[in-house]
Amino acid sequence: MTATEAPAAYQPFEAGARVAFTDGHRPASRSFRALSGNAVVVGFRPYVDGKPGGWYTLERKGETISVEARNVAAYEPKAKGAPGAKVAKPAPETLPKIVAMVGKSDSGEYGNATCPHCGADGRYVWTFRCDDGTTRGAMAGCIKLFPRSALVDEHQRLLDRLDERQAKGQTLASWDQAKLAAIEAVVAGRMTEAEALLVVKVENAKRTAWMDRRGRR
Ligand SMILES: [Zn+2]
């Protein structure tokens, strides 16, 4: 990378471009003010002290300020002419949709597995199939980052509960067995997602009814 080339994440706006920014800056006095709003690009320095990132020189209300490139975004005027501007958030990571949970590996109480998604250490790694045809792995926290259906969440809960029950030498309650069977039928292509969601609804109602009867005694 040459000295005039900015990292792709901080693609410079042209001089004269209107941008939005949020930043603190130091005016002539020694006080530190936090500022946000919109301004016009005057210049751009790709490197400061040899570090990538870059700084914009912006002009705002006749004042010239320096703002770190990561705090500068495309200007999007508010619909109702309100003052200021909203700073566009960076695009979220694009992940495929989870279509089915495959299973969960347990590296044991003192085992150290690594999350295939983020590299964090932990105990359980889930494996799942995605709508782009890939089979991937991630720990429970990272699964939440993926788009997924209600059925996938239910499947994950049921597999967790099955593990808990089996550890105690027990089996799943009848409604959980029915829900798990339905979801596994979807995974195997023998049932549609809508049909399985109906099973989940019916079995949840059975459980609620059973709890109600039990509560009345
Ligand atoms: Zn992770």
Question: What's the 3-state SS for 158-216?
Answer: HHHHHHHHHHCCCCCCHHHHHHHHHHHHHHCCCCCHHHHHHHHHHHHHHHHHHHHHHHH
Q: Which pTM value belongs to this model?
A: 0.54
Mean pLDDT by 10 residues, the chain (217 residues): 45 78 52 64 68 72 78 69 52 80 83 83 89 91 90 93 94 96 91 94 94 81
pLDDT at res. 127: 94
- Which residue type occupies 200? V
pLDDT at res. 58: 83
pLDDT at res. 25: 45
Q: How far is the CA of 105 from the centre of ligand 1 (A)?
A: 14
Q: How far is the CA of 139 from the centre of ligand 1 (A)?
A: 5
Q: How far is the CA of 149 from the centre of ligand 1 (A)?
A: 19
Distance between CA atoms of 209 and 212, rounded to whole angstroms? 5
> 50, 55, 59: which is closest to 67 by C-alpha?
55
Q: How far is the CA of 147 from the centre of ligand 1 (A)?
A: 15
pLDDT at res. 89: 55
Q: How far is the CA of 145 from the centre of ligand 1 (A)?
A: 9
